[in-house]
Chains A and B, each alone.
Chain A
Amino acid sequence: MWGTRGTIPTPEAENGRYGGNTPCIEVRSSEDDLLILDAGIGLHWLGDELMMNSFGGGEGRGHILVSHTHWGHIQGIPFFLPMLISGNRFSIYGTGGADSFKDLLLEQMASYYCPVPNFFDDNIGALTRIEEIDEREFDIGSTRVTARRVNHVPDVVTLGFRIEDAAGGSLAYIPDVEYLEQEHRDQTLELAAGVDMLIHDAHQTTDEYPARRGRGHSSVQDAIEIARQAQARHLVLFHHHPDRSDSAIDDLLRSCDSVGLRVDAAREGAEYTL
């Protein structure tokens, strides 16, 4: 896990253990295919590590799955060094809803916002293919990816992902979701059914949620209930609120002690084998 924080990077010391980088998760398949879930600022640090192996020599291949285009989920792209190295190849999958996904990513790189070269141009840096997807199943190496719409806020089409490896191991990644109707729960349940790990939005505490209903995020209680219903084996609380300090996240985890389910809070630097 390279980034676990919701909305905006929070570098303050009291967030140091769980981390302040916005969402980015590295997934390696049994065949060593590289899948990257979301492109928050955590992507920069993953990039630094990738530069030490085949990506530094321009021989890397990676797939970036973007849940949606809110800044916290794409802001790492301009600072992802492997994209500046020619020979590397990337595919970026996501949806722009009514807009073009590619145009939205390009807007972030517009010269008045961003002085780095537009490396989506085939003549600069890596060969980058931007693929507009919606609800869809497709294969990346030894993995099968299922993308489904989930309910976040009305202004942005948001995807959740299920990833299953042919050699075993499965996870669901649903970083931003709110359940206002049964249909919204059903969308997640399809993605998360029986997975080894469910990485799920826990932006609000159960107490905070009522006052923030309608803002597009789940409570810890929502995450626990959906994990139980989906019979996920392991729940990882994700997308921590910017004001949630390490000690507040510790407290939150303790409150999950008796739920009869393995629960972790996503922590930068954590590694799991499924």
Chain B
Amino acid sequence: MGGLEIAVLAVAFVVLLLWGVPISYAIALATLATMLVSIPAMPALTTEVQRIATGLDSFALLAVPFFILAGHLMNHGGVATRLIRLARAVLGGLPGGLAHVNILASMLFGAVSGSSVAAASAVGSVMTPEMSKDGYDREFGAAVNVTAATTGLLIPPSNVLIVYSLASGGVSIAALFMAGYLPGILVGLMLMGVAAYKAKKLGYGAAGTAHREPLGAALIDALPSLFMLFVVIGGIVAGIFTATEAAAIAVVYALVLALVYREVGWRDLPRIVLDASEMTAVVLLLVATSIGMSWIMAYVKLPAAVTGALLAVGGNEIVVLLLINVVLLMVGTFMDITPALLIFTPMFLPLAVEMGIDPVHFGIIMVLNLCIGICTPPVGSVLFVGVGVAGTTITRIVKPLLPFYAAMVIALILVTYWPALSMWLPGLLGL
């Protein structure tokens, strides 16, 4: 196992992508080619479709169709407009006002739901059309949305921190949750800094001054829509329903409001549901085929090959942490965060502990690192959702994403080499 399979995977994937083949087919066919050189043909074909089908067999993924549908209903039904009008009234002509709204909403949403795909689909499908109306580039809005959605994986509760705890053999989840607050907020603030700078340079949001609205009227008009946020977020926090279930409740609430506002009639519904389903399915197929690809990467022992090669270099704590971060950034370009955590935590954690790094601190490093990966092409679940809901393409979103990547990488360096950022809060609480 090793060299041949890895070469087949890489070459097939790149050739198919350059040929303009849709990414989900490219992932599936490159995976198939690799399976065919490692496993007999019939088991290979059957295994791959089993991975694709069971990749969708996930309660957590359900948040995607629901939040996309709720977003569509909010956009068509006048809920989104009222919320944004309120945001505009508050933020006025601040440069990049709506970009900050997007980031704060994504942070809040991700924080509460613990799912970055849920945050990206919920906030992205509402904010993108509204940001376009204000003169923002579609791609800029999507870039803001995609990167901000990852902060919820650091700010608790967070399913991926739980995955890390399980993969590590039992690092305290309570301590991980506390350790994630400051790094998560740090990433959010840095993204806001980049957004403000770019918005000022590009003149976004300056138009906001022209149609600044009276706060009181906007607030009253938005109350029923605000109540939806209260229901969804309050319901999760109060333990009435899980984040996924909250998404289904959001659909019902958005539907009721849309019918009450009379901006959507029963006859418009099938079209809206079909549009949302189509967008959902594009994202789901990408996620499902990438799960198949993660399987074959593990099967041909790609993780061990990559890790072995880079860690053979060795060195002191600073160098090892740097190498681990570089490996994880490479891994993140192709692999989703959950399989990456499951596979690489047991490989890297013993090494980190040997270097005197706290397992809690190391978990935050790994999660923040892989958060960058889910935003990078060619394979990234949050990137796929963000591009899907914004109705743009991966090629066009890459350039606007670059400064935001830079902010995340700087945050990663700070988190890596300044342990107190993660460890101060859990220490304070005696965890």
- Our verdict on whether A and B bind, yes or no, reads no
Interface residue ranges, A against B (CB under 8 Å): none
